[in-house]
């Protein structure tokens, strides 16, 4: 992996000729939490269907930095032991770079009674506060000291106390954090107004496999009876499919597929996107873990307004690919990003490709179509917008260069290989060749 790698894509210029089958990876946002939850187990945890992506490598490094034994036993399999050498001393450098490192705070505080955390980093998608986490930890008995560079949390008795926690906002990672922390707490924790994202259910099922007592899984009130360390002896857990990756392939198919089949996914997790695309004129068939899609003629794609929402509403993580879709649909669509401020900034770059997009305010853009996009050089600002740029490059006329591929590798495994297999003309350049050439 080299920071200066880029993708060069020769666009289809509006042709609809991608064909074939693409298998969806395990979900990044589930796998990261399961790895963090390994800190709640006294013995070895075996995780399967883990995507081979940069964020997962970072989480593995983070666990190793705290003394965990992390073994990659297959392309998609990890064995993780948080045994006697395991501590709460995670690497500050790594956690600063990855927002998801925050999900380790709960398990570590619960296991060791104290943890120090730098302000978490991650995507450039606006303000991402952690007040809900700090409030909840305090409710469970932790004292939080906010230092210049870190948050230092400790529990006088050494063990968190089960409490009732109402989330003022149904935050995904906060729900997961308290669910994990509560498994080792004294007494019962009730998390109210919890988020409903399927990744939370995946985590809950993993914890239950290890002996955790959790009820209300898949609802907005989750109750956890605390107990001792979990155990996974003789068992393994397979990560759920990535609904965001599956959704991105679906949008690509809706724009450029002669016929594309998306396998190893769970269409039940994608209802909002599927219904939205159908209402925009895209024929979609689902059967078991497979979705089939073909791009209809351009003239039959209709604009639809989009409002991102917590699950089961329209996912913020699929908003950027959807904007690419809307540049090809007839009419004007309002895209309202309700979850993250700053998550529409990438649309400025799409204007360079000829897209008609007007920013109304940091949360809303108007997209007018259809426009045949023109290939350009773009820089991927975060993983979701990065993949959206790749989709834009694929449907555009001429060639596009997408810089900062690292951001795409954070969340999508071997994306160029899987796209090439569908007929996309995409190559990765840079790294070795440029280093040798002194570029
Ligand atoms: N929020 C607060 N205070 C907090 C925590 C969150 O105000 O203490 C606010 C946020 O600022 C935001 C809203 O709550 O406005 C929702 O954020 P949430 O906490 O639900 O998001 P997250 O847990 O930080 C996860 C995913 C994101 C995904 C969102 C929404 C992981 C590691 N990340 O983030 O994924 O966009 O849920 O579904 O699970 C991505 O994968 O590209 C990504 C950004």
What is the CA(255)–ligand 1 centre distance, in A? Answer: 28
- The pLDDT > 90 percentage for the chain reads 88
Query: Of 9, 123, 155, 270, which is the active-site residue?
Result: 123
Look at the alpha carbons of 335, 123, 139, 223 in this order and tell me if their dihedral is positive or negative: positive
How much is the pLDDT for 127?
57
Does position 439 have pLDDT exceeding 70, yes or no? no
Q: Is 427 exposed, middle or buried (0-12, 13-18, 19+ CB in 10 A)?
A: exposed
Give the pLDDT band (50/70/90) at residue 217: very high
How much is the pLDDT for 308?
98
Mean pLDDT of 376-389: 97
Does position 219 have pLDDT exceeding 50, yes or no? yes
Structure tokens at 414: 């071997």
What is the CA(127)–ligand 1 centre distance, in A? Answer: 10
Does position 125 have pLDDT exceeding 50, yes or no? no
What is the CA(171)–ligand 1 centre distance, in A? Answer: 6
How much is the pLDDT for 432?
56
Q: What is the DSSP letter of 19?
A: E
Q: At what angle do helices 131-139 and 105-112 cross, to 10 degrees?
A: 20
What is the CA(360)–ligand 1 centre distance, in A? Answer: 23
pLDDT digits (tens, 9 = 90+) for 354-368: 999 999 999 999 999
Q: Is 178 in the pocket of ligand 1 (CB under 6 A)?
A: no
How much is the pLDDT for 1?
54
Index of the ligand 1 atom closest to the CA of residue 383: 42
The two beta strands, 150-155 and 142-146, are: antiparallel
Question: Of 326, 439, 431, nearest to 7 (Cα)?
Answer: 431
How much is the pLDDT for 4?
82
CA angle 153, 231, 202 (to 5 degrees): 75
How much is the pLDDT for 150?
84
**What's the mean per-residue pLDDT of the chain?**
94
Name the pTM for this structure.
Answer: 0.95
SS3 label, residue 424: coil
Mean pLDDT of 325-346: 96
Q: Is 384 in the pocket of ligand 1 (CB under 6 A)?
A: yes
123 labelled catalytic = yes
pLDDT digits (tens, 9 = 90+) for 293-309: 999 999 999 999 999 99
How much is the pLDDT for 96?
81
Examine residue 370 and say whether the peptide bond preceding it is cis (omega within 30 degrees of 0).
yes
How much is the pLDDT for 120?
61
Does position 428 have pLDDT exceeding 50, yes or no? yes
The Cα–Cα gap between 329 and 111 comes to 52
Q: Is 74 exposed, middle or buried (0-12, 13-18, 19+ CB in 10 A)?
A: exposed
Q: Is 168 in the pocket of ligand 1 (CB under 6 A)?
A: no
CA angle 5, 252, 349 (to 5 degrees): 55
Strands (E), 194-326: 213-215, 221-225, 236-238, 257-263, 284-287, 290-293, 306-307
67: alpha, beta or left? (left if phi > 0; alpha if psi -120 to 50): left
Index of the ligand 1 atom closest to the CA of residue 32: 32
Hey, whose CA ends up nearest to atom 18 of ligand 1? 171
What is the CA(173)–ligand 1 centre distance, in A? Answer: 6
Mean pLDDT of 327-336: 98
How much is the pLDDT for 435?
39
SS3 label, residue 367: strand
Q: Is 131 in the pocket of ligand 1 (CB under 6 A)?
A: yes
How much is the pLDDT for 99?
77
Residue among 26, 28, 29 whose CB has most ligand 1 atoms within 8 A, to mutate: 29
Mean pLDDT of 425-433: 83
How much is the pLDDT for 92?
87
Examine residue 195 and say whether the peptide bond preceding it is cis (omega within 30 degrees of 0).
no
Q: Is 339 in the pocket of ligand 1 (CB under 6 A)?
A: yes
The answer to whether the CB of 2 falls within 8 A of the CB of 26 is no
Residue among 146, 172, 239, 310 whose CB has most ligand 1 atoms within 8 A, to mutate: 172
pLDDT digits (tens, 9 = 90+) for 71-117: 999 999 999 999 999 999 999 888 887 878 889 999 999 999 999 98
Q: Where are the alpha helices (DSSP H) in 140-242?
A: 172-183, 198-209
The Cα–Cα gap between 91 and 187 comes to 31
């Amino acid at each position: 992996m080299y920071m200066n790698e880029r993708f060069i894509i020769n666009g289809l210029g509006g042709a609809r000729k991608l064909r074939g089958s693409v298998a969806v990876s395990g979900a990044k946002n589930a796998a990261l939490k399961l790895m963090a939850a390994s800190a709640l187990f006294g013995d070895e945890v075996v995780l399967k269907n883990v995507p081979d992506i940069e964020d997962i490598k970072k989480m593995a490094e983070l666990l190793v930095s705290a003394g965990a034994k992390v073994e990659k036993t297959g392309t998609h399999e990890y064995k993780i032991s948080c045994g006697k050498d395991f501590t709460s001393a995670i690497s500050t450098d790594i956690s600063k770079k990855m927002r998801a490192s925050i999900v380790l705070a709960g398990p570590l505080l619960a296991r060791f009674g104290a943890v120090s955390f730098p302000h978490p980093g991650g995507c450039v998608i606006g303000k991402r506060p952690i007040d809900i986490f700090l409030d909840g930890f305090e409710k469970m008995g932790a004292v939080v000291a906010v230092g210049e560079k870190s948050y230092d949390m400790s529990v006088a008795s050494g063990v968190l106390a089960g409490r009732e926690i109402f989330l003022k906002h149904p935050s995904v990672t906060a729900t997961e954090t308290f669910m994990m922390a509560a498994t080792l707490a004294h007494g019962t924790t009730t998390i109210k107004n919890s988020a409903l994202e399927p990744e939370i259910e995946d985590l809950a099922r993993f914890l239950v496999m290890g002996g955790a007592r959790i009820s209300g899984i898949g609802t907005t009130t989750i109750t956890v009876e605390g107990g001792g360390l979990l155990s996974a002896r003789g068992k393994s857990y397979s990560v759920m499919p990535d609904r965001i990756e599956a959704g991105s392939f679906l949008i690509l198919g809706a724009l450029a597929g002669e016929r594309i089949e998306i396998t190893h996914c769970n269409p039940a997790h994608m209802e909002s996107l599927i219904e939205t695309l159908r209402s925009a004129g895209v024929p979609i068939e689902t059967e078991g873990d497979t979705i089939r899609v073909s791009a209809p003629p351009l003239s039959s794609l209709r604009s639809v307004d989009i409002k991102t929402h917590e699950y089961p509403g329209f996912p913020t993580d699929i908003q950027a690919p959807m904007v690419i879709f809307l540049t090809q649909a007839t009419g004007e669509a309002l895209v309202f990003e309700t979850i993250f401020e700053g998550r529409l900034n990438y649309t400025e770059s799409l204007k360079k490709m000829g897209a008609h997009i007007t920013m109304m305010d940091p949360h809303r853009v108007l997209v007018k179509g259809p426009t045949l996009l023109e290939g350009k050089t773009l820089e991927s600002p975060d993983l979701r917008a990065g993949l959206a740029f790749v989709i834009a490059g694929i449907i555009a006329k001429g060639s596009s260069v997408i810089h900062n591929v690292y951001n795409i590798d954070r969340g999508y495994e071997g994306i160029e290989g899987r796209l090439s297999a569908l007929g996309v003309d995409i190559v990765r350049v840079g790294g070795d060749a440029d280093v040798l050439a002194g570029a």
